Structure 1
Amino acid sequence: MMMKQYSVSMEYQPMQNKLEYKNALEEIIICVMINDPEAVVYVAERIRSESLSEGNQSLYNSIVELSLKDVATDLLLVKLIKQFGADRITKLKDRVLVPTLSYLITNDVLMQFKDVAYSFSIEKILQTKAEAIKSDCKGLDTLMDLQSEINELLIAEDNIRIDKSFTDKLPEILSNIENRMSGNEYSLNINSIPSLNIATGGILLSNLITVAGFTGQGKTYFVLNVMLDLAKQGIPVGFISLEQSEQEISDRLIGILGGIPSEKLRNPKRLSKDEMSRITLSNLSKNKLPFYINDRPLTEADIKQKIKYWRDRFHVKVVCIDYLGLIQSRAKFTTRERELTHYSEFLKLTAKELDVAIIVLSQLNRSGKEAPIITNLAESIGLARESDFLFTIYKPIEYGLKTDGRIKFNDSHFILRCEKNRHNKHKKQILLMMKESGEFTELATEYFSEVEDILMVNNSN
């Protein structure tokens, strides 16, 4: 008797076929693990055995245990048949026509399984809380407990990676070096600001990049340009706006894309016919931009969950947080300095753990109005310590700089200055010009020598 076949993307009715759908996905996963040794560690690092039905947990654990002992596929099959029976193992072995790791990845089987497994876990938690709240008047406490249980569920999902020795990981390490040599999927480059790539070596996954500036000095617009550049290349990005609404961020993006000042988009009645034609759905949707925006207040735990969700669901590579000082926390801190240092450390660890580049915006303090330098960070010097790259951005004309001998500065000019570079010696200053639409273009990378002197004089005054 043949086992019932299902499409991996089969539709199901939540209360009728959800369990059947989950079991079908389990069978597909176990089938691939039995047939393809390379799939075992890949699956084991992403799926907890507790997520499977009780009938499949022991089988799953046995496959993982035997594979880690380097048991050959044929011998693995013999041992599994001896332990779980020939009929069951034979049916599972033939469950998929092409039982390979590539099949799991191509069809996104693991994500589909995790989705439905989470739905069962959340359903159980909600049912328990629903019963408890019937006789409990402390709704806020119950809500906090619910969030805590969900956080624990997500943390458990993160802590299933299998440790390997350096020798065991050598093939992966050498493969990574080869990819870096060939330039494949290693660094992300910004096409519109080439010198930024020289300064950073390209945006690297797991890096924490800080862009600091005084109020009104172009921080948000600059980062939106960077993120939009990546999205145009098809690289998924996420923007967590803790200061502005999604509508405001969207207006800025549309302004950059359509060459229209965002101020006009705040009052669309001022738009000309030509400007209206540039922001039609057909024009703006020509390029599918994988650009995701969140404008809800978030704690540090919420931020990590959001980044993880974007990474797992949309394959987001770079996330911007605007800005550090508005992150919330339920923890208590003795000083504001200690709180912001905590956030800085958290962002660096999150970037490393999730293998996502994080760009965080930071304010300069009042002294930053006199000198836009690293020591005037309002958000804690700990941020400078944790950052792989730290840039300041400012309008030179507002700091007494009139020209570099070639270009007469005006209000549209900005200097992006690399204050800290952990990975190479490039500390370039990049002269940028911002159009009325908010689009940045690069003008030059070599500046006048008196920049340092003027900044020091302003700082001393």
Structure 2
Amino acid sequence: MHHNPKHTAGQVHKAEIRAIQLEKGKLPPQAVELEMAVLGALLIERKAADELFQVFTSEEVFYKDAHKAIFKAIKRLSDASSPIDILTVSNQLKIDGNHSVAGGDHYLIQLTQSVASSAHIEFHARIVLQAYMKRKVISICSEAIQFAYDADTDVFSLLDMMDTESTAINEIIARGRTEMSFSDALDRVVDRVKMLTDATTTLTGVETGFAKLNKHFGGWQPTDFIVIGARPGMGKTAFVIRTTVEAAKSGSPVGFVSLEMSTEQLVTRSVAVESAFHMNQLTKSGFEKQEYFSGLLRKVNEMRNLPIYIDDRPSLTIGEIKRKARLLKRKQGIKLLVVDYIQLAGAEGNEDDRVRVGKISRGLKSIAKELEITVIGLAQLSREVEKTATKRPALHHLKESGDIEQDADAVCFLFRPGYYGLEPDHEVIDHDCNTEFIIAKYRHGGVGTLGLSFDENKTKFMDRHEEEPANGYAAANDVVSQVPLPKIEPSQAFDNWSIQDQSDNNPPF
């Protein structure tokens, strides 16, 4: 394995693992005869290399050291566009210093006699690859067992190491998959267009919680990595809470990785978003009379069975987030994963912030593709945004944050001009809106700006089709409407919930 999961203990040697295997009287999985057939095919037909390299490209896949050396020589010749035959491979083995290890020219001749043609090389190669993957699983598990028995082992580092090794195996599998034919891809296009044509709604993905976003995106689409960036105070968390709750209400299970707020804080804000309750009631003042709790209990019971699964452990690494996402996909069938927010994810080593954020960004995109879910990652923008005259964020404000822009399928920004004492530009957004939802990049469609409505007093987003009660706090039949509520400033509301930049003097990336 590549990483030592222990703070003080030494690495377990491979020899110890082999000793464990020999004690059990078991030989590692292998397919030596098929390895010979694969190498023989490469030696007799040049085109065989092109087929094989679609399955694997590493000599480590082979079990016998002689076969590893021969494949390595063949790969070097192929990379140099040189002919591949017994003579050229023999010469390359001599250059590599592996001629005797490979068994000499006699063994090369023997390999060519082990197969009649390269007709079945891909099939043979996949069996060889399966044997290699089984050996890797045995190696990972054997080493993990040794570390697990050691008192000095850090269990979380051990899990990270196992996840890293497992991911490496998954990547080998992914490289070995047969590509989709153009004809099959065309069939998928036709199927999707038919589905869109027959649909009674434009919503083909996960509910966003906003009619305009549903129309533009068709809902959050599977395999998409969506980045929503903003400065503190713009309402990133309020936005994503609404989309989380609405997605869950529509029947789509949601995983929520909250790296900043606790589960209790997040759920409290969810109750406020879903009800006419004021955050001040839920966090500070409470209700004047006991009977006012009936409204709260009614709303809580309505929300109790929403399929929302929150992990609020701080500084989770991308490896830990991947493991959590896979678990939630397998057990709960999540269709949406939210990460709040990207820059707070922990490092997996001594990495600078740019490298760390870039690794997290790539990891979140890989989760979306692997699990076929939508991943929404919130991103906090640096203070450079506020040095501009308009305060309006743009793509170049993500340039310092690793590869977020490159990895994302969509990059969106939230901008509330009123936060800076500016008037909304109603040539850009509707007159009943006060927030710009800026779609700065969208891989599958157009860019532009949509208008959203943000209730500054309640710190929550509203959709245009919703109507707030006349008194601004609760419906007439809701008992809490009798409670007089103080108006609080937006900055106070956000400060209460710690979504301001805690280290504003230092950009978060």
2:443 aligns with 422
Q: Select the structure that is richer in helix.
A: 1
Alpha-carbon distance between aligned partners in 2 of 1:271 and 1:175, rounded to the nearest angstrom = 57
> Which of 276, 299, 312 is the equivalent residue of 1:295?
312
Alpha-carbon distance between aligned partners in 2 of 1:404 and 1:214, rounded to the nearest angstrom = 19
Q: Output aligned runs, 1:25-424, within 5 Å.
A: 128-129=146-147, 132-133=149-150, 138-140=152-154, 144-145=157-158, 147-149=160-162, 152-153=165-166, 156=169, 163=178, 165-166=180-181, 169=184, 174-183=190-199, 186-190=204-208, 192-267=209-284, 269-270=286-287, 273=290, 275-280=292-297, 284-285=301-302, 288-297=305-314, 298-333=316-351, 335-370=352-387, 371-374=391-394, 375-377=396-398, 380=401, 382-402=403-423, 404=425, 413-424=434-445
Specify the SS of the correspondent of 1:279: helix
Moved more, 401-410 or 233-242: 401-410
Q: What TM-score results when the alignment is normalised by the length of structure 2?
A: 0.54
Q: Tell me the amino acid that sits aligned with residue 241 of structure 1.
A: S
Q: Deviations over 1:272-314 (max 9, x none)?
A: 5565222216753367311111101310001111111111111
Specify the SS of the correspondent of 1:226: helix
Alpha-carbon distance between aligned partners in 2 of 1:261 and 1:404, rounded to the nearest angstrom = 29
Specify the SS of the correspondent of 1:267: helix
Alpha-carbon distance between aligned partners in 2 of 1:273 and 1:414, rounded to the nearest angstrom = 37
Alpha-carbon distance between aligned partners in 1 of 2:172 and 2:199, rounded to the nearest angstrom = 30
Alpha-carbon distance between aligned partners in 1 of 2:430 and 2:206, rounded to the nearest angstrom = 33
For residues 154 and 364 of structure 1, do their structure 2 counterparts lie closer, same or farther at Cα, with a shift above 3 Å needed? closer
Alpha-carbon distance between aligned partners in 2 of 1:238 and 1:181, rounded to the nearest angstrom = 30
Alpha-carbon distance between aligned partners in 1 of 2:379 and 2:252, rounded to the nearest angstrom = 24
Specify the SS of the correspondent of 1:221: helix
For residues 415 and 243 of structure 1, do their structure 2 counterparts lie closer, same or farther at Cα, with a shift above 3 Å needed? same
Alpha-carbon distance between aligned partners in 1 of 2:267 and 2:331, rounded to the nearest angstrom = 22
Please tell me whether the aligned partners of residues 414 and 437 of structure 2 are also in contact (alpha carbons under 8 angstroms).
yes
Please tell me whether the aligned partners of residues 396 and 409 of structure 1 are also in contact (alpha carbons under 8 angstroms).
no
Alpha-carbon distance between aligned partners in 2 of 1:143 and 1:381, rounded to the nearest angstrom = 26
Specify the SS of the correspondent of 2:463: strand
Q: Tell me the amino acid that sits aligned with residue 461 of structure 2.
A: F
Q: Deviations over 1:51-74 (max 9, x none)?
A: xxxxxxxxxxxxxxxxx99xxxxx
Alpha-carbon distance between aligned partners in 2 of 1:239 and 1:246, rounded to the nearest angstrom = 10
Specify the SS of the correspondent of 2:404: helix
**Rg larger for:** 2
Please tell me whether the aligned partners of residues 205 and 317 of structure 1 are also in contact (alpha carbons under 8 angstroms).
yes
Q: Tell me the amino acid that sits aligned with residue 336 of structure 2.
A: V
Alpha-carbon distance between aligned partners in 2 of 1:349 and 1:257, rounded to the nearest angstrom = 32
What is the root-mean-square deviation in Å for CA atoms of aligned residues? 3.8
Specify the SS of the correspondent of 1:204: coil
Structure 2: gaps (5+ residues): 1-121, 124-138, 466-509
1:45 aligns with none
Q: Tell me the amino acid that sits aligned with residue 393 of structure 2.
A: I
Distance apart, 1:178 and its partner CA: 3.5
Q: Deviations over 1:348-405 (max 9, x none)?
A: 2221122111111111111222423122238616212222222211221134432556
Please tell me whether the aligned partners of residues 358 and 404 of structure 2 are also in contact (alpha carbons under 8 angstroms).
yes
Please tell me whether the aligned partners of residues 208 and 348 of structure 1 are also in contact (alpha carbons under 8 angstroms).
yes
For residues 268 and 152 of structure 1, do their structure 2 counterparts lie closer, same or farther at Cα, with a shift above 3 Å needed? farther
For residues 279 and 436 of structure 1, do their structure 2 counterparts lie closer, same or farther at Cα, with a shift above 3 Å needed? farther
Q: Tell me the amino acid that sits aligned with residue 382 of structure 1.
A: D
Alpha-carbon distance between aligned partners in 2 of 1:416 and 1:439, rounded to the nearest angstrom = 14
2:132 aligns with none
1:46 aligns with none
Q: Tell me the amino acid that sits aligned with residue 152 of structure 2.
A: K
Distance apart, 1:266 and its partner CA: 2.1
Specify the SS of the correspondent of 2:364: helix
Alpha-carbon distance between aligned partners in 1 of 2:426 and 2:303, rounded to the nearest angstrom = 41
Q: Tell me the amino acid that sits aligned with residue 390 of structure 1.
A: V
Specify the SS of the correspondent of 2:403: helix
For residues 441 and 176 of structure 1, do their structure 2 counterparts lie closer, same or farther at Cα, with a shift above 3 Å needed? same
Q: Deviations over 1:407-445 (max 9, x none)?
A: 9999x943222222222124133131226444422359x
Structure 1: gaps (5+ residues): 1-67, 70-120, 445-461
Specify the SS of the correspondent of 1:285: helix
Specify the SS of the correspondent of 2:436: strand
For residues 124 and 384 of structure 1, do their structure 2 counterparts lie closer, same or farther at Cα, with a shift above 3 Å needed? closer
Alpha-carbon distance between aligned partners in 2 of 1:390 and 1:231, rounded to the nearest angstrom = 23
Specify the SS of the correspondent of 2:233: coil
For residues 281 and 177 of structure 1, do their structure 2 counterparts lie closer, same or farther at Cα, with a shift above 3 Å needed? same
Distance apart, 1:339 and its partner CA: 2.5
For residues 440 and 398 of structure 1, do their structure 2 counterparts lie closer, same or farther at Cα, with a shift above 3 Å needed? closer
Q: Tell me the amino acid that sits aligned with residue 252 of structure 1.
A: R
Q: Tell me the amino acid that sits aligned with residue 148 of structure 1.
A: M
